[in-house]
Amino acid sequence: MEYKDYYKVLDVSRDVSQDELKKAYRKLARKYHPDVSKEANAEAKFKEVGEAYEVLKDSEKRAQYDQFGSNYQHGQSFNPPPGWGGQQGGAGMGGGNFSSFFESMFSGSGAGGNDQFFAQGEDVNAKITISLEDAFSGAKKSVRRPDGANQGGTINVKIPAGITSGKKIRLAGQGRAGGGGNAGDLLLEINIANHAHYQVEDKDVTINLPIAPWEAALGAKVTVPTLAGKISLTIPSNAKSGQKMRLKGRGLPGKEAGDQIVILQIMTPPADTPEAQQLYQQMAEELNFNPREALEDL
């Protein structure tokens, strides 16, 4: 069988440190990852790089490899001595997912076998905070990978329109690396940031709408902001402060879109001029209005 020079595969020297080894592996794993690489032989190279790193990152396997393999040159025939690695031929090693060189050298040696080499990595959980506008319209975000992910740097994430707080976006293969570079997933939990004017509950959004006393008393048409743009809303006569009006389908979009809840808030004009004070005095004298009438019998 052909000898594999794992140091050459990773383009490192034989005295490479573990930190430099990891950097070299990550660089090549990114280059040849089948999901992103445009190299014609990306999948084969990705497996070869993963196999080399699996051996060299482990001190025992590296020592075993260095002890017997260093006298061979790439391309020479490699025949380990009887009993090397605990058993010959890679029995139970998963039907050839490894190279025959790896199987012959490490089969049964306590290296964990093929199952360990190809074990799925762990999922990594993280949170991302987005604006309400991004949750409504959808967006593309560049997110820094959290500690524990198989790579550093940033990753582009597509935020779907209508997503709500607590929902998770799964990014396959972006979690913690397993054996041979098999990585778990990155799970991004969505958090919608507080908004200056809207409150959000699931897919419904709520806004407080200030109205003048005469608009509440007489009724009026007023302009109301929504996440999709401004609309005209008819205020009924004799409206009360705290009264709720529902705008169907004006919340976060989806198969079942949320609603926008408009809460009326009657705002009293300030009596900060003689004319305003005179008007309030006239109202007090001419209107038969007692706001505390319901409390008189208590």
DSSP for 148-176, please give it.
TSSS-SEEEEEEPTT--TT-EEEETT-S-
Task: Give pTM, 2 decimals.
Answer: 0.59
Residue 92: which CATH number? 1.10.287.110
The answer on 25 and 107 residing in a single domain is yes
Residue 44: how many CB atoms within 10 A of its CB?
12
| Number of domains within the chain | 3
Per-residue pLDDT of the chain (298 residues; tens, 9 = 90+): 566 788 888 999 988 898 899 999 988 888 888 777 778 788 888 888 888 888 888 887 787 777 665 444 444 444 444 444 443 333 333 333 567 667 666 654 444 444 444 455 788 899 999 999 999 999 999 988 887 776 778 889 999 999 999 999 998 888 877 655 567 888 999 999 999 999 999 999 999 999 999 999 999 999 999 999 999 999 999 999 999 999 999 999 999 999 999 999 999 999 999 999 999 999 999 998 898 888 988 8
Q: Are residues 111 and 13 in the same domain?
A: yes
Q: Are residues 14 and 99 in the same domain?
A: yes
Whether residue 298 lies inside any domain: the answer is no
Is 103 part of a structural domain of the chain?
A: yes
In a domain, 297, yes or no: no
CATH number at residue 133: 2.60.260.20
DSSP code at position 290: -
pLDDT value of position 275:
95
Same domain, yes or no: 83 and 31: yes
Instruction: Give pLDDT, residue 90.
Output: 35
Q: What is the DSSP letter of 66?
A: H
262/279 same-domain check: yes
Note down the domain range covering 15.
6-117
Domain contains 292: no
Q: Where among 68, 93, 117 does a domain terminate?
A: 117
